[in-house]
Amino acid sequence: MNPNRSGLLDWWHAANAPAKRALIEASLGWALDAFDVMLFAMVLASVIPALGLTKPQAGALGSITLVAGAAGVGVLTAEIYPTAIRATAQGFTCNAGRIASAAAPFVVGSLAATRGFGAAFAVTGSVFVLAAIAWIWIPETRGRELA
């Protein structure tokens, strides 16, 4: 970062293009994760009998999903961003998820109420597919010295 410059977005200007792209993709992924948490909570009562799960199994499935998502975002930003701006990048990513958490009940609930749970699943699922495709452009860090 430029020592003569002190601004709100210095961390953004200090990052290279792959790091910026990774931050945006991780933020979108984290935001989408908020949607699946709300969707899971809203349909849990229907999913348990449909899949023949016990409540502890359903809880374990939800917990594993949440932990895996959080671990992935943390590792990604830790590998891509230099130490000087890593905390800011992770804060930005995590807060994108909080914004989506606020919107998720309205969006998923509205879709489920007006178009049914099938539409809510379809829209949410298609966005996850797009997030998975976007993963292709996240830079590989294997064998590279991290800053």
pLDDT in tens, 20-68: 887 777 777 766 666 666 666 666 777 788 778 888 888 787 777 667 6
Kindly list the distances between the CA atom of residue 115 and the CA atoms of 14, 105, 120, 121, in Å, as whole numbers in the listed order.
Answer: 45, 15, 8, 10
Find the length of the chain.
147
List of residues 6+ apart from 115 with CB closer than 8 A: none
Percent with pLDDT over 70 in the chain: 78
Residue 66: the pLDDT is 67
Return the CA Rg of the chain: 18
**pLDDT confidence bin for 109, thresholds 50/70/90:** confident
Residue 147: the pLDDT is 66
Task: Give the relative orientation of helices 83-115 and 55-80 as an angle to the nearest 10 degrees.
Answer: 140
Report the 10 Å Cβ neighbour count for 52. 7
